[in-house]
Amino acid sequence: MIALQEIAAAAAKLTPADKERTLRFLMRKLQRVLVAYSGGVDSSYLAKVATEELGPNATCVIGLSPSVSKFQRESAVRIAKANGFNILMLDTDELADPRYAANQGDRCYFCKSELYSKLSEVADGQKAVILDGTNADDLSGHRPGRVAAAEHGVHSPLAELGFTKEDIRELSKTSGLETWDQPASPCLSSRVAVGVPVTLERLSRIERAEAILRDMGFREFRVRVHGELARVEISPAELPTALDAAVAERIARGLKESGFKFVTLDLEGFRSGSVSVSSDTVKN
């Protein structure tokens, strides 16, 4: 297989269009791939390029897990069908792993290990290379899932070729992908504060609560879980709407009906990764 490090060095200063040409060249070299596909911005773009270059030799795998909402699963399938992706659905069972459920800060490692173990079985049978949608902006910070990827031989061509999130959004828009301006949507377990166990009941409660916000017209938000308390984050652009007394009352009532005892609106608005801020405040 072609050395990705060598390609990355050559592509580091290229334009987004040049990076895409290099990515397409790489796909043809790989010949057969499995794309870990979620319907998000990055994996949708990677799946589209892989499908355009390899046709049926590109398989886009959706992991079916309690930590992925029904809304996100249905969206991923709809986008895949609209773009002619070859879909394969695999059940994952990370919630049965007590190390995952304990949620001690390394949860993503056990989740990705479960997913990549299942993908590896398929890849071995197809003699395919496993790819994920990690981009260059994702390489900083605490990323235990990256360790699992390395252990299972998963490649991240977008990161390795220097694609930033901005590059991917720009190229997705040019190619007609509806995901180009889609907000990030990590798994439901990411809403649970570190140290608070991940359970099926908690995930279901989060899914119901976020469906209420979505039905109210909000686009970018999180329902963060700290024990029995729901901390609602709304994007700064949408926060004034949420601060309206009548709207706030609807949010509080709906989330309490979803199973939360307390509901609070975070005045700092949505920001990625904030669930760890109060991780030691509530233990259950």
| pLDDT per position as a tens digit, 31-81 | 999 999 999 999 999 999 999 999 999 999 999 999 999 999 999 999 999
- What percentage of the chain reaches a pLDDT higher than 70? 92
| pLDDT per position as a tens digit, 214-273 | 999 999 999 999 989 999 999 999 999 999 999 999 999 999 999 999 999 999 999 876
CATH number, domain with residue 48: 3.40.50.620
Question: How many distinct structural domains can be found in the chain?
Answer: 2
Residue 200 sits at φ, ψ, to 5 deg, of -60, -40
Q: Are residues 133 and 160 in the same domain?
A: yes
* Confidence check: pLDDT of 1 > 50: no
Last residue of a domain, one of 181, 205, 220: 181
Would residue 282 count as lying in a domain? no
Q: Are residues 172 and 218 in the same domain?
A: no
| pTM score | 0.88
* Confidence check: pLDDT of 283 > 70: no
Q: Are residues 38 and 162 in the same domain?
A: yes
Instruction: Using the Cα atoms of residue 186, residue 58, residue 120 and residue 204 in order, give the sign of their dihedral.
Output: positive
Nearest to 48 by CA among 164, 173, 155, 162: 173
Would residue 113 count as lying in a domain? yes
Residue 20 and residue 49 in contact, taking contact as beta carbons nearer than 8 Å: yes
Last residue of a domain, one of 181, 206, 230: 181
pLDDT for 221 equals 96
Alpha helices by DSSP H, listed for the chain, are: 4-11, 16-30, 41-54, 70-82, 98-102, 107-126, 144-151, 157-160, 165-175, 200-215, 239-243, 245-257
Would residue 284 count as lying in a domain? no
Q: Are residues 134 and 54 in the same domain?
A: yes
pLDDT for 2 equals 46
CATH number, domain with residue 223: 3.30.70
Distance between CA atoms of residues 213 and 234, nearest Å: 9
Q: Which domain holds residue 17?
A: 4-181
Q: Are residues 203 and 82 in the same domain?
A: no
